[in-house]
Amino acid sequence: MNNKLQCIVTDGQGIDNLALVEKPEPAALSDNDVLVEVRAVSLNYRDLLVAKGLYGGAYDPAIIACSDMSGTVLETGSKVTNLKPGNKVINSSFHTWLSGKMNSEKIRKFVGGLGVDGVLIEKLVYPASALVKLPEHMSFEEGSTLTIAGLTAWAAVMTHGNVQPGEWLLVHGTGGVSIFGAQIAQLAGAKVILTTSSDQKAKLVKERLGIKHIVDYRNEDWPRQVRDITAGAGVDVVVEIAGGETLARSIKACNYSARIGVIGILDDTYSKFKLFDVITKQISLRGIFMESTEELNTLARFCEKNQLQPWIDKLFPFDKTVEAYKYLESQKHIGKVLIEL
């Protein structure tokens, strides 16, 4: 292994500073690692924050960008038993969060940020224990969307949201996590309400996913509309990707014993709401910061069993990475934005 590998690095000083550079191939594999040829990389809102220096600040030296990938195993270490050359895989975004709860040690291994190299490179070495087999029915492009967007939605809807058949679920917007949340909830037998300000996006979501109930979040009284849709009860699970004032309104739209998965900060990092609403309705707020490799495998097998097809909005070639980031930033997309290698 002495060839050069092309990769995209970020120094945390802006999207336009993303740079194509060459790195040497690794000299050898350790016993528990595998060498993967990367085929597709999925972008997330976090990648925008990293590139802009809003997630860990500036990086010197620059780090390899992005957290989500799919690829093919080329070589395995001597002690690897769960994978073999030729296997198609997706990665957990944490090297060491194999199962159980998050802790301060595991969180420092979040790839593609906090100084840890990411996955936007032609080939990479990865711990075999932090890889999961690609669902058999998915392409590399589709599979790459599961690592963060799919797993975050899964954690909010299933792992911690524990959505039940017949319950109501609320999702905001049409980004990757929200679309996954809607798809997973529907497959679990729940009913979905989605908020968006775009008539065009609403039309596409209705046509493709069959979501009947869509409300415009620009109307400040949308929680009342949600309660009307649910016959006055309110929703049972919320995939909260906005925070800020949106979270306060989501609480008003909740049923008794509702579970809110707090994921994003698109609206604001601070939120002001009435604690009395949370107390009297016994609402649970759970911060969702990804999940373990074990949960990623559970999600992958769920997708396989139910033939879930991720919604891919647009594919960009490797040399158009900056354009891909800017397209994601524009929020014109529905579902996921990808880079092909």
Which pLDDT belongs to residue 2?
A: 57
**Domains and their CATH numbers in the chain:** 4-148+291-340 (3.90.180.10), 161-287 (3.40.50.720)
Find the helix packing angle between 244-252 and 222-229, rounded to 10°.
40
How high is the mean pLDDT in each 10-residue block of the chain (341 residues)?
A: 86 97 91 98 96 93 97 97 97 95 90 94 97 98 98 98 98 95 98 96 95 94 97 98 94 98 88 94 96 97 98 97 97 95 93
**Nearest one of 195, 192, 239 to 217, comparing CA atoms:** 195
Q: Quickly count: other Cβ atoms within 10 Å of residue 238's Cβ.
A: 32
- C-alpha distances out from residue 198 to 59, 70, 112, Å: 36, 31, 31
Model pLDDT, residue 108? 86
306's torsion region: left (phi>0), alpha (psi -120 to 50) or beta?
alpha
**Both structure tokens of 30:** 């350790």
The SS3 of residue 207 is helix
Predicted pLDDT of residue 265: 84
CB contact at 8 A, 95 and 62 = no
CA neighbor of 184 nearest in space, from 215, 152, 210, 158: 158
3 state DSSP class of 322: helix
| Phi-psi region at 304: left, alpha or beta (left = phi > 0; alpha = psi -120 to 50) | alpha
Amino acid at the residue 211:
I
Looking at residue 304, the DSSP 8-state letter turns out to be H
Residue 1: predicted pLDDT = 47
Query: What's residue 267's pLDDT?
Result: 84
259 exposure class (CB count in 10 Å sphere: 0-12, 13-18, 19+): buried
